[in-house]
Amino acid sequence: MSEVASDYDYDLFVIGAGSGGVRASRIAAGHGARVAVAEEYRVGGTCVIRGCVPKKLLVYGAHFAEDLNDAAMFGWDVPVKRFDWPVLRDHVQAEVKRLEGLYGQTLASNKVETFLERATIVGPNLVRLASGRTVSAAKILIATGARPFLPDVEGIEHAITSNEVFHLERLPKRIVIVGGGYIANEFAGIFHQFGSHVTLVNRSDTILRGYDESMRDRLLQISLAKGIDFKFNASFSRIDKREDGMLHLALDGCDDLEADAVLFAVGRKPNVEGLGLEEAGVDLGTRGEVKVDKANRTNVPSIFAVGDVTDRIQLTPVAIREGQAFADTQFGSGGVVEVDYDCVPHAVFSHPPIASVGLTESDARNRYGTVKVYTSDFRAMKNVMAGRNERSLYKLVVDEASERVIGIHMIGPDSPEILQAAAIAVKAGLKKADFDATVALHPTMSEELVLMH
Ligand code: NDP
């Protein structure tokens, strides 16, 4: 440990026990620091409690709808198909509870003291707990994450967000999903597979801004063919709840809609309110994010921040790396560790999913001028036999001068599972010739990656 500060109650006080906070706490304690963490809700944070994990379990649940339909062509007779939302919902919550317990155990076994209450910063080295106690720490880490943003629309209290969607009492027959980003497209797929009628409403004329255009177009095409409705260039003027519980949605840019539920997924806001940041003199950016340098340090030398609250890349593995880098830098002996934000793979768990790493075709053209693009547009073998007319699309973006593969974009079954391995090649700067030199693994979907000419 580079610095021992015995004048303080703790060497490190972490606010927020999500992905970034737990990793930072555990690693700092491993380096010998005396660490405490405060969590006002549930240990695990967004990813474990109301994000990646329960969402992915719903995605698995949703896939059964297609698999059960396709099963007939593979000789399986499934006489009764009935989906029971409360069964899936409760099993998902039981798994979340199990993981929450494991996260708590990890903290305890690493000798991190956990306070299950809200903490606020009352000085550069002071934290006040909701129960009234004030503790001191040589360093304070803000890892409070982000929460769904809700726009100022009349009747917005009738809407739900990704926080509530996992707990719905019953499956909505009609759901309107607002936004065209990650959460909107993932839940559009989930609810559609469960049998709800889904309408996705976005303020612009696009979905998944920032993803490669061909992937976005393909997802839109497939989603429309499945029966998901899209309303573009539309905005909400008000939401009314009728006596029978039905929601009436008044929109500008398209006809009014009626629904049993309306889910807003229009971005997330850093959790900074009421944390004492202004009083402590911590600078915030224009989006309300905590501003930090490459070593995750704010303008107040003893206060640091990692994860979604810093609004760099809002992804769990990135928050984990930031937490690890912070702890290693501040409490390890190897000097400053910086997170490498280049080539971070990312995926949308839509139906089918999209996965990407590196530059999109248009970004690559802007940056490199001349690029070569290779695509494979195919129907997965399983889809062909099942009579499912859904085509996958893989794209390699290659810098013409260096011949390096600088982007891979995929939409199709299991594309996130495949992309993780392919991302290693992009990160390593491998060339198209290296892909060509690799013998295909047959019969797979991923072999398309080495067969593009
Ligand atoms: P996104 O940032 O992905 O998308 C926001 C959407 O809302 C866009 O379509 C945007 O429109 C629209 N929008 C933005 N502001 C407004 C506004 N004021 N009024 C109306 N519409 C608006 O947000 P999400 O909430 O879906 O997800 C938040 C973040 O969480 C993601 O960026 C991602 O980092 C993370 N996440 C990651 C997942 C994964 O890795 N699989 C899954 C879920 C979340 P426009 O089309 O104009 O851009």
Which residue has its alpha carbon closest to ligand 1 atom 18?
151
pLDDT band for 6, please (50, 70, 90 cuts). Answer: confident
Question: Which atom of ligand 1 has the smallest separation from the CA of 265?
Answer: 25
Question: Which atom of ligand 1 has the smallest separation from the CA of 346?
Answer: 40
Paired sense of beta strands 391-399 and 405-411, if any: antiparallel
Of 383, 392, 382, 320, whose CA–CA distance to 355 is shortest? 392
- Per-residue model confidence (pLDDT) at position 311: 98
Task: Please state, as a whole number, how many other Cβ atoms lie within 10 Å of the Cβ of residue 246.
Answer: 13
Task: Please state, as a whole number, how many other Cβ atoms lie within 10 Å of the Cβ of residue 391.
Answer: 16
Task: Please state, as a whole number, how many other Cβ atoms lie within 10 Å of the Cβ of residue 39.
Answer: 26
Identify the burial level of 7 via C-beta atoms within 10 angstroms of its C-beta, where 0-12 means exposed, 13-18 middle and 19 or more buried: exposed
Which residue has its alpha carbon closest to ligand 1 atom 4?
181
| Mean per-residue pLDDT, 186-198 | 98
Which residue has its alpha carbon closest to ligand 1 atom 17?
266
Question: Which atom of ligand 1 has the smallest separation from the CA of 180?
Answer: 9
Distance 184 CA to ligand 1 centre (A): 8
Residue of 178, 268, 311, 356 with the most ligand 1 atoms within 8 Å of its CB, for mutation: 268
- The full DSSP string for 129-191 is ETTS-EEEEEEEEE---EEE-----BTGGG-B-TTTGGG-SS--SEEEEE-SSHHHHHHHHHH
Residue type for 47, please?
A: C
Strand partners, 296: none
Structure tokens at 418: 């495949």
Examine the pLDDT at 5 and tell me if it is beyond 60: no
Question: Which atom of ligand 1 has the smallest separation from the CA of 349?
Answer: 41
| Mean per-residue pLDDT, 248-269 | 97
Question: Which atom of ligand 1 has the smallest separation from the CA of 184?
Answer: 26
Catalytic: which of 158, 167, 248, 442?
Answer: 442
The share of the chain scoring above pLDDT 70, in percent, equals 99
Distance 355 CA to ligand 1 centre (A): 16
Pocket of ligand 1 (CB under 6 A): 151, 179-184, 186, 202-204, 206, 209, 265-268, 314-315, 346-349
Of 151, 114, 93, whose CA–CA distance to 18 is shortest? 114
Residue type for 134, please?
A: T
Residue 442 annotated in active site: yes
Identify the burial level of 382 via C-beta atoms within 10 angstroms of its C-beta, where 0-12 means exposed, 13-18 middle and 19 or more buried: middle
* Lookup result for tokens 């810093």: 310
Distance 58 CA to ligand 1 centre (A): 19
pLDDT band for 2, please (50, 70, 90 cuts). Answer: very low
| Mean per-residue pLDDT, 191-214 | 98
Residue of 186, 203, 318, 419 with the most ligand 1 atoms within 8 Å of its CB, for mutation: 203
d(CA 165, CA 179) in angstroms, rounded, equals 15
Residue type for 107, please?
A: L
| Mean per-residue pLDDT, 435-451 | 98
Sequence-distant (6+) residues with CB within 8 A of 198 are 175, 176, 177, 188, 191, 192, 228, 229
Range 293-298, long-range pairs (CB < 8 A, 24+ positions): 294/336, 294/338, 295/325, 295/326, 295/329, 295/336, 295/338, 296/322, 296/325, 296/326, 296/329, 298/142
pLDDT per residue over 16-67, tens digit each? 999 999 999 999 999 999 999 999 999 999 999 999 999 999 999 999 999 9
Distance 148 CA to ligand 1 centre (A): 9
Distance 179 CA to ligand 1 centre (A): 6
Distance 343 CA to ligand 1 centre (A): 20
Which residue has its alpha carbon closest to ligand 1 atom 21?
266
Query: Could you tell me the domains of the chain?
Result: 5-148+269-331 (3.50.50.60), 156-266 (3.50.50.60), 352-450 (3.30.390.30)
- Per-residue model confidence (pLDDT) at position 127: 98
| Mean per-residue pLDDT, 132-137 | 98
pLDDT band for 398, please (50, 70, 90 cuts). Answer: very high
The upper half-sphere exposure of residue 177, i.e. CA atoms within 13 Å in the direction of its Cβ, equals 29
- Per-residue model confidence (pLDDT) at position 46: 98
Whether 25 and 153 have beta carbons less than 8 Å apart is answered as: no
- Per-residue model confidence (pLDDT) at position 3: 47
Distance 242 CA to ligand 1 centre (A): 29
| Mean per-residue pLDDT, 174-200 | 98
Question: Which atom of ligand 1 has the smallest separation from the CA of 52?
Answer: 42
Examine the pLDDT at 453 and tell me if it is beyond 80: yes
Of 382, 443, 445, whose CA–CA distance to 410 is shortest? 445
- The full DSSP string for 359-422 is --HHHHHHHHS-EEEEEEEEE-HHHHHHT---EEEEEEEEETTT-BEEEEEEESTTHHHHHHHH
d(CA 324, CA 316) in angstroms, rounded, equals 12
Paired sense of beta strands 146-148 and 268-270, if any: antiparallel
Overall residue count recorded for the chain in this entry? 453
Sequence-distant (6+) residues with CB within 8 A of 168 are 85, 89, 160, 261
pLDDT per residue over 145-166, tens digit each? 999 999 999 999 999 999 999 9
